[in-house]
């Protein structure tokens, strides 16, 4: 096996000493590109002017699975990427996906981003970014490959668990503090997957057909927020196609929108194997090409990396005059800019890994992400001193950090739900029954959970044993849902059914008939069918919560933490109620022609802007709405009031609503602001989320929650004019506890 180590501090020390200075002395006569006191643009230009053509070509493509070269002659370090965004991936072999066998790369696994989005808490997002950024920095990574902000278009996307839900405003607001937290550590985020990557099957050949208004209103806002508000230092181009061009060489999305309209000055990195040609990519594509020879040096060419599209073929095209050097120079400068912001910033903090602070952050974020969907009869929280608790379900014991594709992690610790409940109730008899058999595997890319989940009992016996135990328990907690196996919540494949797999519905029905002290905990990153919802007194939406999964769940079940999570997506009653129904919409229809020598499927977003609650507001079929989340206390919303009755295009107004904790427990709720265009001349959704605030209140405490409304909150994208437009006339501000729980409305004018 082959490894390289980066002794960056030593490199700088040697170079600085050669110039007659130590790294600690004033740097007045060293090269500009090595001088931290110089503006980054001056350093970029100085380093660039010293580079040869061969050094420039080397910088724009990979040299291993996760690294690309710097400029050794100039002491400019390599770029090292790591998978995220839920934890720092285990080190893999130089040319292979299998783990390298390190003993110091076990990390903290943080909650999946679907869980983070469910907190609706910007401060927790910043804490998340800070914590995972510290772990990336500790491992000396340049780039964290995350976060993901692709929109939850429909519930079968196998990668929805890695994203931030169905609403572009929520995703945009939550991604910005995450970015700020990561990059404060001198580690670049790589916001992914830009763009329109909303399903996994056929992801390399799916040509997305979408109108401009839908593109700008639904699928681009979170990326735009990441770039313009979060100041992301890198973005990952997706696998799929748009306008018949692969995203890694897409003129419209990369040059015209990302670099042009948004002014992005960072690096665009290809998804691994996403580049398919040289000239189009050189003209309009990514800055850094990774993974095009995914078996590295074992593909029969000892110079495999030199055969990347942006390697020797790029240099040859320049030599033949097929393309100039302006595009190469621009991408090299962007890469240098990122290096000076990260690895060559000697003021970046040192970072830390698996620290008590990171475990505490993971536990807190996990607990505040959990959504209490239903709690009839106040089954939850559990009693302070139960005698016997029965826990049923494979997901109560199955480790979820291994598997799922690129989100797979080697966690130093993973507390299972069963162990979390046992730890919280040490004096109770906590019994586990399996109930069903799902995925008994526990290995991925050489990382193993070490669990043996094989089972000899048949389904009928498993259910009978669980029911018998249920009749003798004070509480029964079923912990099931999905997992990170193929065709569940996993990269590379989509789900094949909306219902729960492995016969879980039958287990739940049987337990519901046996006891009324029954809680269903669904672990997933996706909505699932719940045909038994009216028979179950308490339902909890849990997520892939990583290292502290079991403790976070136990905190909520016990009432140590009052649940405050709210859904980032709608849970429809059945799959036929969601907006994606036809073959044209998904998985797409094949065409005869090839693009980049590959077959193509046309995937048409015929639902347009009607995604998520925008769709369900018109068509119904909702089991639990977007933004829904219960508490162990209750909250009353007063009448909203405006500071003025009208505003101009350049002005703003404020809507304020009093919120009171009317229950007996301290807790938090999410106050949501939706806007309705009453007099629109174009088709607009019934309402759109334009503000939210999470407020913590003690029993009896009252607080005023205020939102500022400006032109952006009132605008739609006018495709004919290619601009955002707010039409004069009447609007409503809706204050809500969910997309279907409107607590008050006020009307105002844009004049």
Active site residues: 271
Instruction: Report the run of H or E that residue 554 belongs to, with start and end.
Output: helix 549-558
Taking Cα atoms as reference points, which of 375, 366, 470 lies closest to residue 116?
A: 366
Residue position matching structure tokens 């029969």: 300
Q: How far apart are CA 79 and CA 190, in angstroms?
A: 13
Q: How far is CA 288 from the centre of its chain?
A: 22
Q: State both tokens at 146.
A: 């995350």
3-state secondary structure of 359: helix
Helix or strand holding residue 369 (H, E): helix 356-369
Element (H, E) at 144: strand 143-145
Distances (CA, A) of 477 to 95, 179, 225, 378: 45, 37, 40, 14
In whole angstroms, give the CA distance from residue 672 to residue 390: 37
DSSP string of 577-603, one letter each residue = GSS--STTTTT-EEEEEEETTEEEEEE
Spell out the residues 6+ positions from residue 355 whose beta carbon is closer than 8 angstroms to its own: 108, 134
Is-contact 557 118, C-beta < 8 A? Answer: no
- Prior bond to 193 cis, omega within 30? yes
Label each residue of 70-117 as H, E or C.
Answer: CEHHHCECCEEEEECCCCCCCCECCCCCCECCCCCCCECCCCCHHHHH
The phi and psi torsions of 655 (rounded to 5 degrees) equal: -110, 135
The answer to whether the Cα torsion of 173, 356, 7, 105 is positive or negative is negative
Structural tokens at position 186: 């001198």
Q: Which sign does the torsion angle of CA 118, 124, 125, 129 carry?
A: negative
Q: What are phi and psi of 56, to 5 degrees?
A: -65, -45
- Answer for the pair 546, 108: CB distance below 8 angstroms, yes or no: yes
């Amino acid at each position: 096996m082959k490894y390289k180590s980066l002794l960056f501090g030593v490199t700088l020390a040697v170079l600085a000493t050669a110039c007659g200075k130590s790294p600690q002395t004033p740097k007045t006569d060293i090269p500009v590109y090595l001088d931290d006191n110089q503006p980054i643009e001056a350093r970029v230009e100085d380093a660039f002017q010293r580079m040869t053509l061969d050094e420039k070509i080397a910088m724009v493509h990979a040299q291993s699975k996760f690294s690309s070269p710097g400029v050794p002659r100039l002491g400019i370090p390599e770029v090292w990427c790591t998978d995220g965004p839920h934890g720092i991936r285990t080190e893999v072999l130089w040319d292979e996906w299998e783990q390298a066998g390190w003993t110091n790369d076990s990390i903290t696994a943080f909650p999946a981003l679907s869980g983070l989005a469910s907190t609706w808490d910007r401060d927790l997002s910043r804490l998340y970014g800070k914590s995972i950024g510290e772990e990336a920095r500790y491992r000396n990574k340049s780039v964290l490959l995350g976060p993901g902000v692709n929109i939850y278009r429909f519930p079968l996307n196998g990668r929805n668990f890695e994203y931030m839900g169905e609403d572009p405003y929520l995703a945009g607001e939550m991604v910005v503090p995450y970015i700020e937290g990561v990059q404060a550590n001198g580690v670049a985020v790589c916001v992914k997957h830009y763009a329109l990557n909303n399903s996994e099957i056929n992801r390399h050949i799916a040509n997305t057909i979408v109108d401009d208004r839908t593109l700008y209103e639904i699928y681009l806002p979170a990326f735009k927020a990441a770039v313009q508000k979060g100041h992301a230092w890198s973005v990952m181009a997706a696998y799929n196609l748009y306008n018949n061009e692969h995203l890694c060489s897409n003129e419209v999305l990369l040059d015209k929108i990302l670099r042009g309209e948004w002014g992005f000055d960072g690096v665009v990195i290809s998804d691994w194997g996403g580049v398919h040609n040289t000239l189009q990519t050189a003209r309009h594509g990514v800055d850094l090409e990774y993974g095009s020879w995914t078996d590295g040096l074992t593909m029969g060419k000892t110079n495999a990396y030199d055969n990347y599209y942006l390697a020797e073929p790029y240099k040859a095209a320049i030599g033949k005059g097929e393309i100039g050097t302006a595009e190469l120079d621009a991408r090299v400068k962007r890469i240098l800019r990122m290096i000076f912001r990260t690895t060559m910033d000697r003021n970046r903090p040192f970072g830390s890994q698996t620290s008590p602070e990171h475990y505490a952050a993971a536990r807190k974020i996990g607990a505040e992400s959990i959504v209490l969907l239903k709690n009839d009869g106040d089954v939850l929280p559990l009693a302070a001193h139960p005698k016997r608790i029965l826990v049923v379900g494979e997901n109560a014991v199955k480790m979820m950090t291994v598997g799922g594709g690129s989100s797979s992690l080697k966690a130093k610790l993973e507390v299972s739900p069963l162990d979390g409940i046992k730890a919280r109730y040490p004096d109770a008899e906590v019994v586990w029954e399996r109930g069903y058999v799902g995925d008994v595997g526990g290995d991925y890319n050489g990382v193993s959970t070490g669990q043996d989940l094989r089972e000899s009992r048949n389904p009928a016996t498993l259910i009978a044993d669980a029911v018998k135990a249920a009749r003798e328990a004070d509480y029964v907690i079923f912990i099931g849902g999905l997992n990170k196996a193929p065709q569940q919540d996993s990269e590379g494949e989509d789900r094949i059914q909306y219902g729960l797999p492995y016969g879980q519905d039958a287990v739940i029905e049987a337990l519901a008939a046996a006891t009324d002290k029954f809680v269903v905990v669904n672990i997933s990153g996706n909505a699932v069918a719940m045909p038994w919802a009216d028979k179950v007194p308490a339902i909890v939406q849990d997520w892939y919560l990583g290292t502290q999964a079991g403790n976070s769940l136990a905190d909520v079940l016990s009432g140590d933490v009052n649940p405050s999570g709210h859904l980032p997506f709608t849970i429809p009653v059945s799959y036929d109620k969601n907006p994606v129904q036809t073959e044209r919409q998904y998985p797409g229809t094949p065409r005869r022609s090839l693009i980049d020598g590959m077959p193509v499927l046309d995937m048409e977003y015929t639902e347009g802007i009607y995604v998520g609650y925008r769709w369900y507001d018109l068509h119904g079929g909702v089991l639990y709405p977007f933004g829904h989340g219960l508490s162990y206390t209750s909250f009353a919303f007063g009448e909203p009031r405006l500071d003025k009755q009208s505003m101009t295009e350049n002005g703003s107004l404020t809507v304020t609503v009093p919120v009171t904790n009317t229950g007996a427990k301290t807790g938090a709720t999410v106050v949501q602001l939706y806007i309705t265009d009453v007099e629109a001349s174009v088709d607009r959704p019934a309402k759109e989320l334009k503000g939210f605030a999470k407020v913590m209140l003690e029993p009896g405490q009252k607080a005023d929650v205020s939102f500022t409304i400006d032109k952006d909150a009132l605008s739609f994208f006018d495709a004919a004019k290619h601009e955002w437009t707010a039409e004069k006339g009447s609007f409503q501000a809706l204050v809500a506890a969910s997309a279907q729980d409107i607590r008050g409305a006020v009307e105002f004018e844009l004049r």
